A = this chain, B = another copy of it.
Amino acid sequence: MTDPHVVGAGMIDFGELKDQSFDDLLEEAYLTLLENVDKGADPSDIDAAWYGTIDIANEGASGASVAHATGLFETPITRVENACATGSDAFRNAVQAVKAGDAEVALVIGGEKMTDSTEGLIASAALERLWRGRGVTMPAYFGMRATRHMEVYETTREQIAEVSVKNHENGTKYPHAHQQFECSVDDVKESPTVSYPLNLYDCCPVTDGACAVLVTSEERAHEFTEDPIRVAGYGLAADTFQRGNEAALTNFPATRQASSQAYERSGYGPQDIDVAEVHDCFSITELITYEDLGFCEEGKGGQFVDEGKPHLDGDQPVNPSGGLLSKGHPIGATGVAQIAEIFEQLRGEAGDVQVDDPQVGLQHNIGIGRNATGAVSCVNILERP
């Protein structure tokens, strides 16, 4: 049984990419990946691919889309979808195939053309039709989580805003981020209300993007780079929203379950994580995730960010890339882009957002099916071998 390693990443500039088609985004990420591999990589090296998209614009489902964008017609290409955890679960499936020996070199590629969606913004997406029609849209639901966390744990509005301030600051230093501007706590508090207490700067933007990474066996990793990054563990779990269960509004059981699987598989615990890319679709999501991942005690997420711990120079930097809040959230690409950032961080190649000498990194998504009542979470842990 081999240990899968990441040996390359191809990240494109996220944004409102209206002059590029969905295929263009996938192709750019793929070609960027091939170019970026230290010792070079060739299409003929690739045994199989996993492709993440929720196909929000209804233009790119099935593996054949990636075959068209890359030319890999004779290569097995599986499309994986798992709501906002789509990209990270595509990665997890590629890792399993490499472990199985069925693919020695696997491509993971994710993309989304959010601005082509006829279904509109993230703001109006998701949750059952029943609830959506009653105003329980995505920001409304996360707004309820925020007010509940404030009520139960005395988390302050300012602490929640600090997540956005941190991530926007990081985003100004990350070259591929969509929205590159700094903002203060007051700026966040004064930005237009979306759903109380969440304002515009508490919400991730609507962003197009794609990203690709290459996963290979331990035996073959050194054909591609002298500096591969080992995949140490991963987990995936589902959950209902548990509407009516007020206690549950303060945490995400799926994250707890998925991270517990990943910690167990890797042998690492929360205290070992030197850098993390986590799912900050809204500021409150990241704050709760500190707790669910065990970076701090339950109810102490506000204090954790208040003390600067998740900052670039803090004890446990979170979202050095600017997170979804600044970088953007092209759903199928998001998890893959987080893996790409952890890969670069662990190789010490993260430029202006490099954290201090990380050995172990964690990547995390939660996801909400468009019309499903459940949530999923996927967690992957990478390490410098």
Contact = CB atoms under 8 A, between A and B. Distances in A.
B238 A373 contact: no
A62 B83 contact: yes
A28 to B, nearest CB: 19
Nearest to A378: B76
Q: How many copies of this chain are found per oligomer?
A: 2
Interface string A90-104: 001100110111100
Contacts of A368: 62
A237 B75 contact: yes
B62 A374 contact: yes
A236 interface: yes
A185 interface: no
A149 interface: no
A12 B243 CA distance: 32
A238 B253 CA distance: 38
Contacts of A258: 76
A54 interface: yes
A235 interface: yes
Contact of A64 (B67, B96, B235, B372): B372
A369 B73 contact: no
A39 interface: no
Given A102-B99, A371-B58, A63 B82 contact: yes
A81 B83 contact: no
A382 interface: no
Interface string A155-195: 00000000000000000000000000000000000000000
A374 to B, nearest CB: 3
Contacts of A48: 236
Contacts of A66: 238
21 contacts: A61-B83, A62-B376, A63-B89, A64-B367, A64-B374, A64-B375, A65-B369, A67-B239, A67-B240, A68-B373, A68-B374, A76-B92, A77-B238, A78-B93, A78-B236, A79-B80, A80-B81, A93-B97, A96-B100, A96-B102, A99-B101
Q: When A and B form their complex, which 10 residue pairs have the shortest distance between CB atoms, in order from nearest?
A: A64-B374, A76-B236, A62-B369, A67-B238, A99-B100, A100-B100, A62-B83, A64-B238, A96-B100, A64-B372
Given A48-B236, A62-B83, 20 more contacts: A54-B61, A61-B81, A62-B81, A62-B369, A62-B376, A63-B82, A64-B372, A65-B369, A65-B372, A67-B238, A67-B240, A68-B374, A74-B237, A75-B237, A76-B261, A78-B82, A78-B93, A79-B81, A97-B100, A99-B101
